[in-house]
Amino acid sequence: MKRIYNIISGAAAIVSAAVLLGSCEEFTPVFTGQYPEPEEYETVTMEPTHTIAELAEMYRTGQPMEITEDIVIAGKVSTSDQAGNFYRSLYIQDETGGIELKLGKTGLYNDYKPGQTLYVKCRGLWLGMYGYRSPNSYGGGNGMVQLGCEDPTGEYETSYMEVQYLIDQHVLRGPFGDPVEPEVITGSQLPSESDTQSSNHYIGKLVTLEGLEYADEIFTLLYVNSNKDRDASSNRVFLSEDTFNITTWAMSEQNVKAHLQAGDWDDVNVGNGNDADTGVYGSVADHKDEMIRTASPANVSQYFRMPEGHEIQIRTSGYSRFADLEIDPEVLSGQKTINATGILTMYQGSIQFVLLDQTGIEVND
Task: Give tens-digit pLDDT for 175-222.
Answer: 999 999 999 999 999 999 999 999 999 999 999 999 999 999 999 999
Nearest alpha carbon to residue 119 among 187, 46, 228, 211: 46
Classify residue 342: in a domain, yes or no: yes
* pLDDT in the model for residue 234: 98
pLDDT band with cut points at 50, 70 and 90 for residue 73:
very high
* pLDDT in the model for residue 42: 87
Classify residue 192: in a domain, yes or no: no
- At 276, is the secondary structure helix, strand, or coil? helix
Same structural domain, 169 and 227 = no
pLDDT digits (tens, 9 = 90+) for 316-328: 999 999 999 999 9
Same structural domain, 156 and 228 = no
pLDDT digits (tens, 9 = 90+) for 283-318: 999 999 999 999 999 999 999 999 999 999 999 999
* pLDDT in the model for residue 2: 35
pLDDT greater than 70 at residue 63: yes
Classify residue 117: in a domain, yes or no: yes
pLDDT digits (tens, 9 = 90+) for 234-284: 999 999 999 999 999 999 999 999 999 999 999 999 999 999 999 999 999
Same structural domain, 130 and 234 = no
Q: What is the rounded distance in angstroms from the CA atom of residue 51 to the CA atom of residue 201?
A: 11
Strands (E), the chain: 2-3, 65-66, 72-77, 89-94, 97-102, 117-121, 126-130, 144-148, 171-173, 183-185, 206-223, 236-242, 300-305, 311-316, 338-347, 350-355, 361-363
Domain ranges, residue 353: 2-21+205-363
pLDDT band with cut points at 50, 70 and 90 for residue 36:
low
Same structural domain, 111 and 14 = no
The number of folded domains in the chain is 2
Neighbour tally for 263: CB within 10 Å = 12
pLDDT greater than 50 at residue 161: yes
- Please name every residue paired with 208 in a beta bridge, in sequence order, or none if there are none: 184, 341
Q: Whole-number mean pLDDT of the chain? A: 91
Alpha carbon distance, N-terminus to C-terminus of the chain: 5
Same structural domain, 132 and 213 = no
pLDDT digits (tens, 9 = 90+) for 102-117: 999 999 999 999 999 9
Classify residue 63: in a domain, yes or no: yes
Same structural domain, 347 and 228 = yes
Same structural domain, 135 and 11 = no
Is residue 100 exposed (0-12), middle (13-18) or buried (19+ Cβ within 10 Å)? Answer: buried
pLDDT greater than 60 at residue 19: no
